Amino acid sequence: MQFYTKQHKFYCGIDLHTKKMYVCILDETGQVRAHKNMKTDPESFLATIAPFREDIVVAVECMFTWYWLADLCQKEGIPFVLGHALYMKAIHGGKAKNDKIDSQKIAALLKGGLIPQSYVYPEKMRATRDLIRRRNHLVRKRAELLAHIQNTNSQYNLEEPFGCLTPVKNREGIAERFTDPVVQKSMEVDLTMIRSYDIMLGDLERTIIRLARHHEPISYALVQTIPGVGKILGLVILYEIENISRFSTVQDFASYARLVKCAHESNGKKYGNGGGKIGNAHLKWAFSEATIIFLRGNEPVKKYLERLTRKHGKGKALSILAHKLGRAVYFMLKNKEAFNQEKFMR
């Protein structure tokens, strides 16, 4: 956890919403200099902080509406801090809660150097990253439809399994295998939706590859040297990382990617693990996906996984392998080196 500890004359905490924002400004002595609810727009915000522009820092919680404010502060040369929502929830919890109280608490945390920072993703790459995330969401929706077809086959216990339905040719005649016309219609709906997703995702992936030009080509090429990591999965990893230099150690990177569990201890006793929801869920998914693809046709790694499975069980063995792959990506990008499986196995 990193805190914002720089000192300023004025500290602005904002409880930000779509249509309204509650602004609280404290001076260096902790006195409230401004505290009011206003319309969410740049003009109102700049007018409110105008008397304090000589030395002010602005902080908001990392929710869904901070993009415009971060871009505005960067344009105006105002220091901007994005607070980590989960960490802040643990710090500023209280008996009473409303927008007025929350804005003052954010300002007080900022003044006291207790704002846990979240990363302010660069504006030039943000839209492409969000488009990649949208693509992943649509891929999961398509997978749900494929799974529904397979589950329906299990429900009616058909004689022959459907097999892999990803190839278009394997989906021919599926609806006709069921005798009930209602079930046939259900399958037809699923298949029609899957065909629509296939067309849409194909176009979307071509667009992403064409537009994703803000990452350096060397890093993009390096990530694709990992067996099984292609153009799209490589872009997912790179755009979620953004810049490997923002992680000072490989442990910080593994924690951010949700590849490690954090132990809870007190008085020398362990009370389990926690912090499972803190970190980048998209990066966690990317490394989990890369691990499964990495195993395909890779006999040395399969044997290594078997040894891990005998010792830890299959689930934990895959987690260990994903962690190991994440560490490899960190050092590949840090040292500008291609993937070396022999070194990886050591």
| Same domain assignment for residues 76 and 138 | no
Return the pLDDT at 216.
83
Return the pLDDT at 159.
79
Q: Are 174 and 191 a contacting pair, CB within 8 Å?
A: yes
Does an H or E element contain 255, and which?
helix 250-256
pLDDT at position 85 over 90:
no
Domain end among 61, 88, 118: 118
Angstrom CA distances, 126 to 74, 133, 326, stand at 14, 11, 22
| Same domain assignment for residues 256 and 196 | no
What is the rounded CA–CA span in Å between residue 275 and residue 263?
A: 9
What is the rounded CA–CA span in Å between residue 110 and residue 103?
A: 11
| Same domain assignment for residues 286 and 255 | yes
| Same domain assignment for residues 304 and 335 | yes
| Exposure string for 8-21, b = 16+ CB within 10 A, e = fewer | bebbbbbbbeeeeb
What is the rounded CA–CA span in Å between residue 237 and residue 51?
A: 43
* Amino acid residing at 112: G
What DSSP letter does each residue of 204-239 carry, written as one string? HHHHHHHH--SS-HHHHHHHTTSTT--HHHHHHHHH
| Same domain assignment for residues 90 and 171 | no
Q: What is the pLDDT of residues 30-46, one digit of tens each?
A: 999 999 999 999 999 99
Nearest to 32 by CA among 7, 55, 13, 5: 13
Task: Give the lowest-confidence range in 202-211, 261-270, 314-323.
Answer: 261-270
The mean pLDDT of the chain is 91
Q: What is the pLDDT of residues 96-125, one digit of tens each?
A: 788 899 999 999 999 999 899 999 999 999
| Same domain assignment for residues 180 and 236 | no
| Same domain assignment for residues 210 and 223 | no
Q: What is the pLDDT of residues 126-156, one digit of tens each?
A: 999 999 999 999 999 999 999 999 999 999 9
pLDDT at position 64 over 90:
no
Angstrom CA distances, 7 to 10, 56, 60, 110, 246, stand at 9, 9, 17, 9, 22
From edge to edge, which strands make up the β-sheet containing 56-61?
Answer: 3-4, 115-118, 80-83, 56-61, 10-16, 20-27, 32-39
| Same domain assignment for residues 272 and 187 | no
| Same domain assignment for residues 254 and 322 | yes
Domain end among 118, 138, 154: 118
| Same domain assignment for residues 8 and 52 | yes
Dihedral angle computed from the Cα positions of residues 156, 162, 167 and 168, in that order, rounded to the nearest 10 degrees: -50
| Mean of pLDDT values over 294-308 | 92
pLDDT at position 92 over 70:
no
pLDDT at position 1 over 90:
no
Token output for 56: 């002010």
| Same domain assignment for residues 112 and 130 | no
Which is higher by pLDDT, 91 or 206?
206
Nearest to 8 by CA among 101, 81, 89, 98: 81
Query: What's the distance, Cα to Cα, between the start and end of the chain in Å?
Result: 31
pLDDT at position 270 over 90:
no
Domain end among 214, 235, 255: 214
Does an H or E element contain 320, and which?
helix 314-335
Token output for 59: 């902080």
| Same domain assignment for residues 33 and 80 | yes
The total number of structural domains that make up the chain? 3
Query: Range of 138's domain?
Result: 125-214
